[in-house]
């Protein structure tokens, strides 16, 4: 298995909390079956997702995610081999918005969260790790 990491960002279309809960529960089930781990950031305006695992399972799930009408303007930042996982214990670590996350974001981006300002996948992965550390686990 080639351990790989895929990172993308996108805009939600019309989404409520129930939609996020549905996405997360489907993700937990599917990703656990396929050995995929990662994190999903959502602040109401942006999704950023990190998917880690085998190259084929990640390609398959990303193809489904691309077709999903709950978001749009999906932009791939990274799909590359990695030596180890950053979120090994999480079928999908959810990182929502909130004051602690906003404070952590401002350490990286003074004008607020804008994934288009980050071109490097490793930097985006480090940002999500920092935001994960700032968020209580749910």
Sheet strands (E) in 13-134: 37-42, 47-54, 71-81, 93-96
Q: Does 114 help bind ligand FAD (rule: CB under 6 A)? A: no
Q: Binding residues for ligand FAD, how many (CB under 6 A)?
A: 17
What number of H helices and E strands is found in the chain?
4, 5
Residue 23 or 104: the one with the smaller Cβ distance to ligand FAD is: 23
Residue 36 and residue 53 in contact, taking contact as beta carbons nearer than 8 Å = yes
Helices (H), 67-133: 99-108, 121-133
Residue from 49, 78, 125, 132 that binds ligand FAD (CB under 6 A)? Answer: 49
Residue from 67, 89, 136, 138 that binds ligand FAD (CB under 6 A)? Answer: 67
Positions in the binding site for ligand FAD (CB under 6 A): 23, 26-27, 30-31, 40, 47, 49, 61, 64-65, 67-71, 92
């Amino acid at each position: 298995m080639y351990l790989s990491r895929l990172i993308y960002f996108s805009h939600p279309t019309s989404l409520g909390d129930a939609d996020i809960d549905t996405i997360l529960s489907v993700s937990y089930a599917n990703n656990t079956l396929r050995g995929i781990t990662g994190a999903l950031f959502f602040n109401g305006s942006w999704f950023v997702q990190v998917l880690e695992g085998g190259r084929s399972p990640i390609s398959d799930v990303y193809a489904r995610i691309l077709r999903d009408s709950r978001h749009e303007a999906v932009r791939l930042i990274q799909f590359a081999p990695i030596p180890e996982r950053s979120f090994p214990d999480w079928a999908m670590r959810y990182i929502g918005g909130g004051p602690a996350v906003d404070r952590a974001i401002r350490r990286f981006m003074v004008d607020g969260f804008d994934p288009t300002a980050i071109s490097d996948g490793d930097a985006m992965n480090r940002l999500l790790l920092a935001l994960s550390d700032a968020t209580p686990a749910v």
